[in-house]
Structure 1
Amino acid sequence: MSYESRKLRFLLNSAIFAAITAIMAQVEIPLPVVPISGQTLAVGLTATILGSRQGAAAMVGYMALGAVGMPVFAGFSGGPQVLAGPTGGYIFGFILSAFITGYILEKTSFNLGWALAANTAGMVITLLCGILQLKFVLDISWTAALATGAYPFIAVGLIKAFLASWLGITVRKRLVAGQFIKQSAPKEAS
């Protein structure tokens, strides 16, 4: 495959998963400050399927769409005010989360056990980035930031980490077999 073809495939995969994240962001359970949404499940799926570089690129694309005002964030919101607001830290965290999740899988193995560990690490990264911004934007204590921005999401986050791992590994195997994405350097789990 030529360099141009690989680059085009990289961009298309990233764009497709940015769009999937935008769609899943609209599935939400409203809570007072930070809603539970499908965004984090989409981030985990993206990283598990695409790996570190493409996963992070997809999240950069997703964030860029929202930053320019496209209503791709939870609740059909968008614009720089969302990124600067109380929940913006989670969105910034998606990029780091996708990269680290994919990186862990690339350095170990794309199997359910490693995917669950990587997606759990990704969930923690997203929550940490979220509570950091939540604390400073709302000027609240660390205790309040944790109580509002982390604790309510741990149980559902673990469920999403499992779903992202299981679905992601299943879909990835099929995409690798169909040569839609390339197999990573470490051997793919069978």
Structure 2
Amino acid sequence: MEQQSEKLRFILHCAIFAAITAIMAQIEIPLPLVPISGQTLAVGITATILGSRKGAVAMVCYAAIGAIGLPVFAGFSGGPQVLVGPTGGYIFGFIAAAFVTGYILEKSRFTVPMAMIANTIGMVITLLFGTIQLKYVVELTWGEALAAGVYPFIIVGLIKAFLASWIGITVRNRLVQANVNITSSKNAA
């Protein structure tokens, strides 16, 4: 019975954070090729609170519900064409970023400074995945891909990394204080 309860808790946590990401995706500032959106903030918060495994699974759920056509991506878009389009690499990057961000925190300490480092690395991973796909899908030079897919996001990305760290650690600490089991990690803080 305890194992079923743990599985249900796992599924619910992942579903909740996939939904939060879908909601945050609708907060956007349009740019010519790739909008600035709240998705990356949600990814950082998710990884900081849930850790590597649950964080990555939550982002897989988010990508999957978007892939089947639900309008959960930025600008209320959805469908497989988004995943293979100019911005799809960023969505795939969310999965890797959530895993790496959570992993770094699990192997160190769940503190705001460590979360800031982990979320900054997560931001770089997302930008790397996104820029590579953007370059090849839109047939840009590396300079054009960096200008469209990285440079506009550096400052706002660092701000979002700080916010994800602060919000994520604050919420995580409150959940731990309330004795809410958010991860099964040994380093669950």
* TM-score under structure 2 length normalisation: 0.97
Other structure's SS at 2:126 match:
helix
Match of 2:118 in 1: 118
CA drift of 1:183 comes to 6.9
1:77–1:108 Cα change, 3 Å: same
CA drift of 1:142 comes to 0.5
Return the letter of the residue paired with 2:72.
Answer: V
Question: Quick check: 1:135–1:145 contact (8 Å CA) kept in 2?
Answer: yes
Write out per-residue CA displacement over residues 120-174 of structure 1, whole angstroms, 9 at most, x where no aligned residue.
0000000000000000001110110000000000000000000000000000011
Instruction: List gaps (5 residues or longer) in structure 2.
Output: none
Match of 1:74 in 2: 74
CA drift of 1:187 comes to 6.5
Question: Quick check: 2:28–2:75 contact (8 Å CA) kept in 1?
Answer: yes
Match of 1:170 in 2: 170
Instruction: List gaps (5 residues or longer) in structure 1.
Output: none
Return the letter of the residue paired with 2:101.
Answer: T
Query: CA separation in 2, counterparts of 1:139 and 1:34?
Result: 15
- What is the correspondence of 1:36-185 to structure 2 with a 5 Å cutoff? 36-180=36-180, 181-182=182-183, 184-185=185-186
Query: CA separation in 1, counterparts of 2:178 and 2:90?
Result: 33
Count how many residue pairs are aligned between Structure 1 and Structure 2.
Answer: 188
* TM-score under structure 1 length normalisation: 0.96
Query: CA separation in 2, counterparts of 1:79 and 1:6?
Result: 31
Query: CA separation in 2, counterparts of 1:187 and 1:31?
Result: 39
Question: Quick check: 2:51–2:183 contact (8 Å CA) kept in 1?
Answer: no
2:35 paired with 1:22: no
Query: CA separation in 1, counterparts of 2:133 and 2:93?
Result: 10
Q: Which moved more, 1:158-167 or 1:173-182?
A: 173-182
> Percent identity between the aligned chains?
71
Question: Quick check: 1:41–1:161 contact (8 Å CA) kept in 2?
Answer: yes
